[in-house]
A and B are shown apart, each in its own frame.
Chain A
């Protein structure tokens, strides 16, 4: 019951309405029963065909009614071809051709329920219907059109319409088909002019343009027409985002989602749109897409090779986005003479953190910064390579700077416009540099108060930026020591954000943040020492996967029961556990001590 307002009527009017509805109901039930009975007997006729149309006019979502119509239509088409066959018996050439067609039709019809069981129906039963299949199909399109007028969002009606079109086009010349699809495009235009967001009609349009081989360029123009009529037409922007890469494909490895020349034109257009009405969200989504291509490509974050006591080496690789095993092998700076199997941190086929074991005598090398190759045998303790920063071409930077300038102008005009604030923050992030990121963080903070509904999003985004900065400063290329320490204390993290950035860290200190949820902890594959003091943790389950943990500190985490610690009992290497200043009931302390007997240093 979408969008039907509850109206309070006077008792008189209500009674009147109830009588009306009851009449309508009885008529509908009788109609349906009549149809189902005819179907049961396998004896459809013109009356059944007409009454199903009336019922569908009232209730176009009753899919079985459309099924019944299709059964009748298929039967009538078959009849049409049989009659043609009869009529053309005295014409030798034609007979051969039509026989083929009829056979083909038979094959199809046989699959459809009951379609052939209506064969015994008398010809006179079909009086009043169009005489030829083509006329019948056309009149069927009118029936559907009138159902759609009444209910333009009926899945069943749109699907039936396309089915009829396909049936019709099976039987007519190429030239006539083109005519049909051209007319159908007109119908799409009509329905979109009534409701520019009707996604059923948009889907239909896509199917129609594919069948009618409408050039993508023409549809691109159509999307522009709609956008120019109304910048808020998200559907039209969406259509554009699908068509542009087809018509103006970028060369491989381009940093733009579409060809560079077009990119600049589109950018100008969308910036113009946001200037016209900065509160309109549709163009902002499009703008974000135009700028996003570069960031969406997966890149190496870190790769660490660590020599183990037995001489073998363990390799941990992390990437900016999830990748599959083939991509890991291709993107990893590790080059081995023999094949090596990578496993993902989550055990899933796509992940951002991957590990592999390399035998002590394996031949190979690691490409480090500057392209130099370090033989694997030269890695005595550990070696880490960090992924190179994204090389944003000068032209793209210029674009970003112009956009930054534009956004600042808009910001001056409308300081509290959330879309402007957000785009400003995004552009600053793309440009990088500590100053820009600091400004972006301030803007995100501002956004939390301007748009409080999404404060959680802005907080995560801001904290992620801070974490990224801290990682960039603290985790650099290195060839010394087995340990990689990360200090992420007091960054205001609300959760374990971007845990893949810490995949190579042996020591992770996230004390005094605001972390409640440890989801994603399985990415901390190298972690042996973990400090989470002063975080209001609710669930420790994700820690159970970190089998290397030797020292864990959970002081002042608001833990209230020994049962919460159960996931830690799976950690066989644990030798130090700090549980000070939690809220365990005194009676539970001995139980906790007892369950962690193997832990050398237990502070509770």
Chain B
């Protein structure tokens, strides 16, 4: 076995079973500590934080524990009347990332009609550039993450007609590399998070066949380290969020069996915080909502039946996607 200087060790002290109740408490109590340091310092990603928390709680079967009215009212206040976009928090500026998060939450809570949907469509489609790429907001940052956000958001709203789909695909394909993966922009290095975004977007548009499944699948399965954890790029440390970015990508490529699921599961479980609940990036670190959702979502993809099934593209419970009659492309499934 080759040396892996960049890995972690999992010991008997790390959790081995899913601490369901702890996680529910962790998430539910998170939003109640509004004067907490962490809560304050994450205000700029509040909308995404809410999406991570609500989705995680729903996967755990406890959606009823969240205050739906408060959440919907918050989202309404975050929608910018002029542009139609949704901000991550009140008084902040609208952005593609928070707009997708808000739409995901509203779809989950079956409350899409409580915001100006046409405004969202106008905002998202207005951020498409002539080369097919998307900006994150009016200031012009281009990234394949935003291509995913735009397509996922509009698909959830059934308004894909509002953008140039062909050009969107063309741009994303310009961001592909010799290892079969994708980066942020044309020329950028492959990154597992970016791969998820590009595959997810191609899957929604039924264009996955443009991808070199075997080359990319191999690069993705090489992300697994002896600890069972996955990294996001070669020679990097494992991180539980990649149990989502990589596993969902392998699922879309129909090559999930190219990694070892038992070791992966062991790693994810070891990143739980047994005291406070919640998942961390690596065993022993500080937990947060982001890693909590992606830890749970990874376990769901690996077939943990004590959790609700997750959709590999939208990172939302499958029953929600089924209700909307949305189908995605998975390699070999057509």
A contact set with B: CB distance below 8 Å: 1-6, 21-22, 24-25, 28-29, 32, 36, 58-59, 61-67, 70, 111-113, 155, 159, 163, 197, 199, 202-203, 206, 232, 234-235, 238-239, 241-242, 257, 279, 281-282, 285-286, 289, 292, 296, 322, 346-351, 416-419, 450-457, 460, 494, 496, 517, 519-520, 522, 542
From the candidates A5, A29, A36, A542, name the one contacting B333 in the complex (CB within 8 A): A542
Residues 34-59 of B contacting A (Cβ, < 8 Å): 35, 37, 40-41, 43-45
Given contacts A2-B239, A285-B178, 20 further A-B contacts (CB under 8 A): A1-B286, A6-B273, A63-B95, A64-B92, A64-B93, A65-B44, A111-B138, A159-B139, A199-B183, A199-B233, A234-B234, A242-B187, A279-B3, A282-B234, A348-B334, A453-B226, A454-B259, A456-B257, A519-B331, A542-B332
* Contact (Cβ within 8 A) B95 A25: no
Size bracket, chain B contacts: 35 or more
- The complex places the Cα of A192 from the Cα of B217 at a distance, in Å, of 29
* Contact (Cβ within 8 A) A6 B212: no
**Does B282 reach chain A (CB closer than 8 Å)?**
yes
B92: A residues at CB distance < 8 A: 63-64
Instruction: Name which of B3, B290, B333 has the most chain A CB atoms within 10 A of its CB.
Output: B333
* Contact (Cβ within 8 A) B334 A197: no
Q: Say which one of B60-68, B115-123, B188-196, B298-306 lies at the interface with A.
A: B188-196
* Contact (Cβ within 8 A) B334 A522: yes
- The complex places the Cα of A439 from the Cα of B2 at a distance, in Å, of 22
- The complex places the Cα of A239 from the Cα of B189 at a distance, in Å, of 8
Report if A62-B188 is in contact (Cβ < 8 Å); known contacts: A347-B334, A456-B257, A460-B258. no
- The complex places the Cα of A66 from the Cα of B139 at a distance, in Å, of 10
Shortest Cβ distance from A209 into B: residue:
B187
A281: B residues at CB distance < 8 A: 2, 222, 234-235
Contacts between the two chains (Cβ within 8 Å), count: 193
* Contact (Cβ within 8 A) B184 A25: no
Shortest Cβ distance from B282 into A: residue:
A3
- The complex places the Cα of A455 from the Cα of B262 at a distance, in Å, of 13
14 pairs, CB–CB < 8 Å, chain A vs chain B: A21-B37, A36-B91, A62-B43, A111-B138, A112-B138, A202-B188, A232-B235, A234-B189, A238-B179, A281-B234, A322-B210, A350-B209, A457-B255, A517-B254
**Does B219 reach chain A (CB closer than 8 Å)?**
yes
Residues 104-139 of B contacting A (Cβ, < 8 Å): 137-139
Report if A61-B235 is in contact (Cβ < 8 Å); known contacts: A4-B286, A418-B2, A519-B331. no
Instruction: Name which of B3, B237, B259, B332 has the most chain A CB atoms within 10 A of its CB.
Output: B332
A285: B residues at CB distance < 8 A: 178-179, 219, 234
**Does B218 reach chain A (CB closer than 8 Å)?**
yes
Report if A5-B209 is in contact (Cβ < 8 Å); known contacts: A453-B260, A456-B259. no
* Contact (Cβ within 8 A) B187 A206: yes
Shortest Cβ distance from A232 into B: residue:
B235
- The complex places the Cα of A417 from the Cα of B3 at a distance, in Å, of 10
**Does B272 reach chain A (CB closer than 8 Å)?**
no
B140: A residues at CB distance < 8 A: 163
**Does B79 reach chain A (CB closer than 8 Å)?**
no
- The complex places the Cα of A419 from the Cα of B255 at a distance, in Å, of 21
A62: B residues at CB distance < 8 A: 43-44
* Contact (Cβ within 8 A) B280 A1: yes
B contact set with A: CB distance below 8 Å: 1-3, 35, 37, 40-41, 43-45, 87-88, 91-93, 95, 137-141, 143, 177-179, 183-185, 187-191, 206-207, 209-210, 212, 215, 217-219, 221-222, 224, 226, 228, 233-237, 239, 254-255, 257-260, 263, 273, 280-282, 284-288, 290-291, 329-334
| CB-based closest 7 A-B pairs | A519-B332, A279-B2, A62-B44, A350-B209, A520-B332, A346-B334, A456-B257
From the candidates A5, A22, A454, A517, name the one contacting B286 in the complex (CB within 8 A): A5
Report if A2-B44 is in contact (Cβ < 8 Å); known contacts: A36-B91, A346-B334, A519-B332. no
Instruction: Kindly provide the distance from the CB of A346 to the nearest chain B CB, expressed in whole angstroms.
Output: 4
Instruction: Name which of B137, B239, B258 has the most chain A CB atoms within 10 A of its CB.
Output: B258
Instruction: Kindly provide the distance from the CB of B328 to the nearest chain A CB, expressed in whole angstroms.
Output: 13
B189: A residues at CB distance < 8 A: 199, 202, 234-235, 238-239
From the candidates A63, A282, A460, name the one contacting B93 in the complex (CB within 8 A): A63
- The complex places the Cα of A117 from the Cα of B93 at a distance, in Å, of 17
* Contact (Cβ within 8 A) A203 B185: yes
* Contact (Cβ within 8 A) A454 B191: no
Shortest Cβ distance from A516 into B: residue:
B257
Report if A63-B137 is in contact (Cβ < 8 Å); known contacts: A346-B334, A416-B1. yes
* Contact (Cβ within 8 A) B334 A454: no
- The complex places the Cα of A603 from the Cα of B187 at a distance, in Å, of 58
* Contact (Cβ within 8 A) B179 A155: no
Report if A456-B258 is in contact (Cβ < 8 Å); known contacts: A3-B281, A25-B37, A282-B234. yes
For the residues of A in contact with B, the DSSP-based class is helix
Instruction: Kindly provide the distance from the CB of A40 to the nearest chain B CB, expressed in whole angstroms.
Output: 8
From the candidates A159, A197, A456, name the one contacting B233 in the complex (CB within 8 A): A197
Instruction: Kindly provide the distance from the CB of B167 to the nearest chain A CB, expressed in whole angstroms.
Output: 15
- The complex places the Cα of A457 from the Cα of B209 at a distance, in Å, of 20
A4: B residues at CB distance < 8 A: 285-286
A257: B residues at CB distance < 8 A: 178
B285: A residues at CB distance < 8 A: 1, 3-6
* Contact (Cβ within 8 A) A203 B234: no
* Contact (Cβ within 8 A) A24 B37: yes
* Contact (Cβ within 8 A) A59 B206: no
* Contact (Cβ within 8 A) A70 B333: no
Instruction: Kindly provide the distance from the CB of A55 to the nearest chain B CB, expressed in whole angstroms.
Output: 10
Report if A238-B284 is in contact (Cβ < 8 Å); known contacts: A63-B95, A197-B235, A453-B226. no
- The complex places the Cα of A50 from the Cα of B47 at a distance, in Å, of 27
Shortest Cβ distance from B333 into A: residue:
A519
* Contact (Cβ within 8 A) B93 A1: no
- The complex places the Cα of A519 from the Cα of B257 at a distance, in Å, of 13
* Contact (Cβ within 8 A) A241 B178: yes
- The complex places the Cα of A322 from the Cα of B212 at a distance, in Å, of 9
A238: B residues at CB distance < 8 A: 177-179, 189-190
- The complex places the Cα of A292 from the Cα of B178 at a distance, in Å, of 9
Instruction: Kindly provide the distance from the CB of B91 to the nearest chain A CB, expressed in whole angstroms.
Output: 5
* Contact (Cβ within 8 A) B263 A241: no
- The complex places the Cα of A282 from the Cα of B222 at a distance, in Å, of 11
B209: A residues at CB distance < 8 A: 322, 346, 348-351
Instruction: Name which of A24, A29, A348 has the most chain B CB atoms within 10 A of its CB.
Output: A348
Instruction: Kindly provide the distance from the CB of B21 to the nearest chain A CB, expressed in whole angstroms.
Output: 20
* Contact (Cβ within 8 A) A64 B259: no
A32: B residues at CB distance < 8 A: 43
B215: A residues at CB distance < 8 A: 292
Shortest Cβ distance from A459 into B: residue:
B257
A206: B residues at CB distance < 8 A: 185, 187-188
Instruction: Kindly provide the distance from the CB of B3 to the nearest chain A CB, expressed in whole angstroms.
Output: 6
From the candidates B139, B206, B234, B281, name the one contacting A70 in the complex (CB within 8 A): B139
* Contact (Cβ within 8 A) A454 B258: yes
- The complex places the Cα of A292 from the Cα of B179 at a distance, in Å, of 11
- The complex places the Cα of A22 from the Cα of B81 at a distance, in Å, of 34
Shortest Cβ distance from B4 into A: residue:
A279
B183: A residues at CB distance < 8 A: 199, 203
Instruction: Kindly provide the distance from the CB of A153 to the nearest chain B CB, expressed in whole angstroms.
Output: 12
- The complex places the Cα of A62 from the Cα of B179 at a distance, in Å, of 33
- The complex places the Cα of A257 from the Cα of B177 at a distance, in Å, of 13
- The complex places the Cα of A257 from the Cα of B191 at a distance, in Å, of 23
Instruction: Kindly provide the distance from the CB of B100 to the nearest chain A CB, expressed in whole angstroms.
Output: 15
Report if A163-B139 is in contact (Cβ < 8 Å); known contacts: A238-B189, A348-B334, A456-B257. yes
Instruction: Kindly provide the distance from the CB of A192 to the nearest chain B CB, expressed in whole angstroms.
Output: 12
Instruction: Kindly provide the distance from the CB of A186 to the nearest chain B CB, expressed in whole angstroms.
Output: 20
Instruction: Kindly provide the distance from the CB of A423 to the nearest chain B CB, expressed in whole angstroms.
Output: 13
* Contact (Cβ within 8 A) B234 A457: no
A455: B residues at CB distance < 8 A: 260
Instruction: Kindly provide the distance from the CB of B334 to the nearest chain A CB, expressed in whole angstroms.
Output: 4
Report if A61-B226 is in contact (Cβ < 8 Å); known contacts: A202-B189, A453-B263, A456-B259. no
Shortest Cβ distance from B257 into A: residue:
A456
* Contact (Cβ within 8 A) A199 B239: no
